[in-house]
Structure 1
Amino acid sequence: MHSAASTAPRLGPDEPVPTPVGLREALPVWARIAALSFGGPAGQIAVMHRILVEERRWISENRFLHALNFCTLLPGPEAQQLATYVGWLMHGVRGGLLAGGLFVLPGLVAIMALSWIYALYGQAGLVAGLFFGLKAAVLAIVAQAVLRIGRRALRSRVMVALAAAAFVAIFVLDVPFPLIIVAAGVIGYLGGRAGRPEFRAGGGHGSGAAIASGPFLLGDDALPQERATPGATLRSAALWAALWLIPVAALLLVLGPDDVFGRIAVFFSKMAMVTFGGAYAVLAYVAQQAVEHYGWLKPGEMLDGLGMAETTPGPLIMVTQFVGFMAAFRAPGALPPLLAGTLGGLLTTWVTFTPCFLWIFVGAPYVERLRGNAALSGALSAITAAVVGVILNLAVWFALHTVFREVRPVTAGPLRLDVPVLASVDPFALVLALAAIVAVFRFGAGMVPTLAACAAAGMALHGAGLV
């Protein structure tokens, strides 16, 4: 699962049982995890595994992997939900709020600050050059995500066909992302229920990892603080659904569905229910809707936002806060633009992450019922395969709008393609993108050095008056 797990020392069975941990003692540990949560979900999950399983021995390897498998079945950012789940497992709802809330906080503050800078100075001076360079690095990172997830997910011809169908559906036929996910899930569910070997989940996140041994605070047989009861489930569902949906309903009632805040609330609430497969998958749909349907952003600006999210701690899906900020900043109504942008960004984050607590606090007490369910495993496998095609669409879409200054939509019946104007190629963007791809794939450069090098190159080019 994690490179850290394969190199960490194994704990012996004679190790002392870890001392019980209260919320106050857990706070600095969750703060440390939040501060180190760079590199997308794979890196974030690796950090959690190293700290929670290997260093602190708060939770056993099997419990950690079981929690992770449950979180991959849910819509939303799996790393943030995994932190919420483990926090809930240890200290109930208060622990889940502490762990999940802290996981989001650094990214919320960082993206908000960068959004202010971008809104005020994004097209001026070295800031413009910085974001010009970040776009090239983002292309390489997204391409790497396609290959990484593809190696894990496309283990049969059926899965390859699902990925190809998803790519054609979203890139050529303009089929909505949620419909693609639902269709893939139904196909996988039926295939898993029928016992087809192509739909069995193989490997997963934890394949090949060394297993930490020794006593844990929460071993394989330990019971969580809070048990599942129908009354508690209904109360939890009602509370978190109200926290999520009452603000949305109030905005629609007071401002109307055509106001920018109403649109932000509705659009990102829908995203919270269908964001299976991780941030890269849903960002393809968010980018196309934000740019082409709502007109909130330009294509290059979406790449700038993704560059922000890649270089700050927290879930990658925090890029949606930048989208909400810019949407409200550009349609502030009677509010000052920066205030409207700030409120739009906070609203986006609220409707994106509040449902995550709903899924965990309602679903976690019943999670044992999902263990070994072939139909659900088949649905997850098919959704993951379809996500590969969706992420490939994201990479192609970003590449077209980064390397070429002009892209024209071409329609023919049900087909719709974005075709680049070859004469509009940006040679500096092309060279930077190719250099980032070579650095990542040929020399194994990490995400942060690649982003830093491309940002520096972009600022140098801008300083020389070349971009």
Structure 2
Amino acid sequence: MKQNASYSLNDLVLYFARLGTLGFGGPPALVSAMHRDLVMERQWISEDDYREGMALAQLAPGPLAAQLAIYLGYVHYGIWGATLVGVAFILPSFVLVVALGWAYLQFGGLPWMQAIFYGIGAAVIGIIAIGSYKLTTKTVGKDQLGWALFAVSAIATAVTESELLWLVLLSGAIYWLVKTPPQLIRPGVGNSIAFLLPPLQNFPTDSVLWKLAIFFAKAGTFVFGSGLAIVPFLYGGVVKEYGWLNEQQFLDAVAVAMITPGPVVITVAFIGYLVAGFPGACVAALATFLPCYLLTVLPAPYFKRWGKHPGVKAFVDGITIAAVGAIAGAVVVLARRQLVDIPAILIALATVGLLYRFKKLPELSIIGGAAMIGLLMRYIP
């Protein structure tokens, strides 16, 4: 699997460890950062490989950013690369979230965190907007059909506030039919994932840890879309069905996920910690990400084998365009929730302006400045 690799596995693992430590903004920002860093700047990953990874991440259930990272690790270094990249990407945010879970229980509530989230959340909207703009111009280019599919996906995501799997598949099918009218349709390729779903209902359910494992494995196996798509599923189980957390605790858990770097889905570790301490955090995180890992590396050889076929490539391109449209729509959804007043809007606009004007400006410096603004606005009259 190492042919044509212009980088070492250690280089890639270090990159994803850094992204997992410093990458704010959830799936839209993280997948944009991977494209910018690995495809455009370093040129470690080809555009085709990136698109195949995006398509697989959209087709399979589980967190989008983590699946894309795992696939990119697989491209040149196989299962070993996928495994190390996945761990490197997830572990930093896991450690941070567990530490915050401990502080939450020790000191009660997160008023200071909510203040930080106010500033960071507004800046993140600007970061995501710039990342989405760059990813869109690179992916869609001057393709009129691509722009039409992009617009439909973006509008649908903004209106429904969710990523629609059927629309992603339809986009791939339309692009395929228009760009490369099929001569032969191979049955079974699109269904290669379904048989991999584990029979979760067979596990015993006589302890809290087992209940956590079963519930979060279902979340990782059956929830499609970005990390944000898992939030309604978690709410229904954690608050309504099991009563593990109350409403405020759950909202705080989501806030923790949004203000910490790495994948948004890492909120499961915070929830697991509140329910059953450190073992609960480990079980929740492992149960959520293991299906995501398996549903990426098992179909990956088929994507690598068939991804260069013109018909498959057109289908993948259509899915990728819809995925980028969904990211653009997610910017609108997040902005409606986060930019609730004039100061927040100004922080977001200032972030967009700074990143557009200064291409090399570190995003971490903007995040730090926005956090300080949030704290000052809360504690200084």
Given that residues 137 and 436 in structure 1 are in contact (C-alpha distance below 8 angstroms), is that contact kept between their aligned partners in structure 2? yes
Distance 1:101 1:368 in 2: 26
Distance 1:133 1:267 in 2: 30
Task: Output the amino acid matched with 2:311.
Answer: A
TM-score by length of 2: 0.70
For residues 85-136 of structure 1, what are the alpha-carbon distances to aligned partners after superposition, in whole Å with 9 as ceiling and x for unaligned?
3222xxxx54554455445444443444345445655844543322222111
Given that residues 122 and 128 in structure 1 are in contact (C-alpha distance below 8 angstroms), is that contact kept between their aligned partners in structure 2? no
Task: Provide closer, same or farther for how the CA distance between residues 162 and 346 of structure 1 changes in structure 2, counting only shifts above 3 A.
Answer: same
Distance 2:95 2:292 in 1: 16
Task: Provide closer, same or farther for how the CA distance between residues 132 and 339 of structure 1 changes in structure 2, counting only shifts above 3 A.
Answer: farther
For 2:364, the equivalent position in structure 1 comes to 448
Task: Provide closer, same or farther for how the CA distance between residues 434 and 28 of structure 1 changes in structure 2, counting only shifts above 3 A.
Answer: closer
Q: Cα offset for 1:451?
A: 1.0
For 1:153, the equivalent position in structure 2 comes to 139
Deviates more, 1:149-158 or 1:31-40: 31-40
Distance 1:79 1:252 in 2: 32
User: Are 1:436 and 2:372 counterparts?
Assistant: no
In our comparison, the structure showing a higher alpha carbon Rg is: 1
Q: Cα offset for 1:144?
A: 1.6
For 1:190, the equivalent position in structure 2 comes to 177
Task: Output the amino acid matched with 1:286.
Answer: I
Q: Cα offset for 1:350?
A: 2.4
Unaligned runs of 5+ in 2: 1-7, 24-29, 58-63, 183-192, 240-246
Task: Output the amino acid matched with 2:302.
Answer: G
For 1:79, the equivalent position in structure 2 comes to 69
Task: Provide closer, same or farther for how the CA distance between residues 182 and 255 of structure 1 changes in structure 2, counting only shifts above 3 A.
Answer: farther
User: Are 1:181 and 2:168 counterparts?
Assistant: yes
Secondary structure at the aligned position of 1:462 is classed as: helix
Task: Output the amino acid matched with 2:323.
Answer: V
For 1:228, the equivalent position in structure 2 comes to none
Distance 1:172 1:49 in 2: 31
User: Are 1:347 and 2:337 counterparts?
Assistant: no
Distance 2:139 2:32 in 1: 15
**Please, what is the CA RMSD of the aligned residues?**
4.1
Q: Cα offset for 1:437?
A: 3.0
For 1:363, the equivalent position in structure 2 comes to 302
Alignment of 1:224-303 (within 5 A): 241=196, 245=198, 248-251=200-203, 261-271=213-223, 274-275=224-225, 282-287=226-231, 290=234, 302=254
User: Are 1:462 and 2:378 counterparts?
Assistant: yes
Task: Provide closer, same or farther for how the CA distance between residues 294 and 168 of structure 1 changes in structure 2, counting only shifts above 3 A.
Answer: farther
For 2:266, the equivalent position in structure 1 comes to 321
Distance 2:163 2:311 in 1: 24
Task: Provide closer, same or farther for how the CA distance between residues 111 and 251 of structure 1 changes in structure 2, counting only shifts above 3 A.
Answer: farther
User: Are 1:379 and 2:315 counterparts?
Assistant: yes
User: Are 1:33 and 2:15 counterparts?
Assistant: yes
TM-score by length of 1: 0.59
Given that residues 217 and 287 in structure 2 are in contact (C-alpha distance below 8 angstroms), is that contact kept between their aligned partners in structure 1? yes
Distance 1:71 1:118 in 2: 36
Task: Output the amino acid matched with 2:181.
Answer: A
Task: Provide closer, same or farther for how the CA distance between residues 183 and 122 of structure 1 changes in structure 2, counting only shifts above 3 A.
Answer: farther
Percent identical residues = 17
Task: Output the amino acid matched with 2:229.
Answer: Y
Aligned residues: 338
Unaligned runs of 5+ in 1: 1-25, 54-60, 196-236, 276-281, 310-315, 405-425
Secondary structure at the aligned position of 1:194 is classed as: coil
For 1:392, the equivalent position in structure 2 comes to 328
Given that residues 9 and 81 in structure 2 are in contact (C-alpha distance below 8 angstroms), is that contact kept between their aligned partners in structure 1? no
Given that residues 80 and 104 in structure 1 are in contact (C-alpha distance below 8 angstroms), is that contact kept between their aligned partners in structure 2? no
Task: Provide closer, same or farther for how the CA distance between residues 448 and 83 of structure 1 changes in structure 2, counting only shifts above 3 A.
Answer: same
Task: Output the amino acid matched with 1:158.
Answer: L
For 2:116, the equivalent position in structure 1 comes to 130
For residues 304-324 of structure 1, what are the alpha-carbon distances to aligned partners after superposition, in whole Å with 9 as ceiling and x for unaligned?
523312xxxxxx4x22021x2
Given that residues 321 and 346 in structure 1 are in contact (C-alpha distance below 8 angstroms), is that contact kept between their aligned partners in structure 2? no
Given that residues 185 and 382 in structure 1 are in contact (C-alpha distance below 8 angstroms), is that contact kept between their aligned partners in structure 2? yes
Task: Output the amino acid matched with 2:152.
Answer: A
For 2:257, the equivalent position in structure 1 comes to 305
* Higher percent of residues as helix: 2
For 1:12, the equivalent position in structure 2 comes to none
